[in-house]
Amino acid sequence: MRPFGLLTLFVCFPLAETYASTGLDGAERVILRSAILGEERTLAVVTPASYGRGNDNYPVLYLTDAEAQMGHLRATVEFLAGNGLMPEMILVGILNTSRTRDLTPSRGSAEEHVVFPAAGGGERFLDFIEKELIPAIDARYRTVPLRVHAGHSFGGLLAVHALLTRRALFQVVIAASPALLWDGQLPLREAQAMAAGAAAPRALFISLGEHETSPAILEAFEDFARVASALPWKDFRFDWQVFADEDHGSVVLRGDYAGLRYAFSGWRFPTPARGMSPSLTAVQAHYRRLSERWGYPVLPPEALLNGLGYGQLLRGEVGAALEMFRLNVELHPDSPNVHDSLGEALERAGQLHAAVESYRRAVIAAERSGAPLVDTFREHLEAALMRVSSAPSREEAHAPQPIEYLRHRL
User: 249 in a domain, yes or no?
Assistant: yes
| Per-residue model confidence as pLDDT tens digits over 55-110 | 899 999 999 999 999 999 999 999 999 999 999 999 999 999 999 999 999 999 99
Q: Does residue 125 sit within a domain?
A: yes
Residue 3 falls within a domain, yes or no?
no
Q: How far apart are CA 152 and CA 212, in angstroms?
A: 14
CB 104 within 8 A of CB 194: no
Residue 273 in any domain: the answer is no
Q: Are residues 165 and 18 in the same domain?
A: yes
Both 318 and 254 in a single domain?
no
First to last CA, the chain: 32
Are 184 and 303 contained in the same domain?
A: no
- Whether residue 164 is found in the same domain as residue 306: no
Q: What is the DSSP string of 214-248?
A: -HHHHHHHHHHHHHHTT---TT-EEEEEEETT--T
Instruction: Give the residue with greater pLDDT, 127 vs 396.
Output: 127
Any idea which of 144-153, 241-250, 385-394 has the lowest mean pLDDT?
385-394
Listed residue (150, 157, 149, 236) closest to 201, CA to CA: 236
Question: Is position 99 within any domain?
Answer: yes
Which residues face 152 on adjacent strands? 176
Number of domains in the chain: 2
Same domain for 113 and 37: yes
323-326: long-range contacts (C-beta < 8 A, 24 or more apart)? 323/280, 324/280, 324/283
Residue 402 lies inside a defined structural domain of this protein: no
Please name which of 179, 19, 185 lies closest in space to residue 99, comparing C-alpha atoms: 179
- Say which CATH number the domain at 339 has: 1.25.40.10
Domain that residue 219 falls in: 8-263
Assess whether 301 and 250 both reside in one domain.
no
Q: At which of 228, 263, 298 does a domain end?
A: 263
Q: Which residues of 25-46 are buried (b: 16+ CB within 10 A; e: fewer)?
A: bebbbbebbbebbeeebbbbbb
Q: Is residue 107 classed as helix, strand or coil in its secondary structure?
A: coil
The secondary structure of 201-215, three-state, reads: CCEEEEEEEHHHCCH
Amino acid 401: pLDDT: 42
| DSSP symbols for 331-396 | H-TT-HHHHHHHHHHHHHTT-HHHHHHHHHHHHHHHHHHT-TTHHHHHHHHHHHHHHHHHS-S-GG
How many other C-beta atoms lie within 10 A of the C-beta of residue 208? Answer: 25
Sign of the Cα torsion 349, 355, 358, 359 reads positive
Question: What is the pLDDT averaged over residues 297-322?
Answer: 94
Q: What is the pTM of this model?
A: 0.86
Task: Output the pLDDT for position 392.
Answer: 64
In a domain, 408, yes or no: no
Q: Do the domain assignments include residue 275?
A: no
- Whether residues 48 and 92 share a domain: the answer is yes
Specify whether the CB–CB gap between 46 and 26 falls below 8 A: yes
Write down which residue in 208, 235, 263 finishes a domain.
Answer: 263
Share of the chain above pLDDT 90, in %: 80
Are residues 296 and 250 both part of a single domain?
A: no
Residue 24: predicted pLDDT: 85
List pLDDT tens digits, range 161-184: 999 999 999 999 999 999 999 999
Q: Which of 234, 263, 292 is the last residue of a domain?
A: 263
CATH of the domain at 84: 3.40.50.1820
- Mean pLDDT, rounded, for 245-267: 97
Identify whether residues 231 and 325 lie together within a single domain.
no
Same structural domain for residues 206 and 340?
no
How does DSSP classify residue 21? G
DSSP assignments along 266-292, one per residue: T-SPPPPPTT----HHHHHHHHHHHHH
Burial grade of 332 (CB within 10 A; 0-12, 13-18, 19 or more): buried
- Judgement on whether residues 254 and 311 belong to the same structural domain of the protein: no
Tens of pLDDT along 192-217?
A: 998 877 678 999 999 999 999 889 99
Question: pLDDT grade, residue 10 (50/70/90)?
Answer: very low
Contact 283, 269 (CB under 8 A): yes
Are 111 and 259 members of one domain? yes
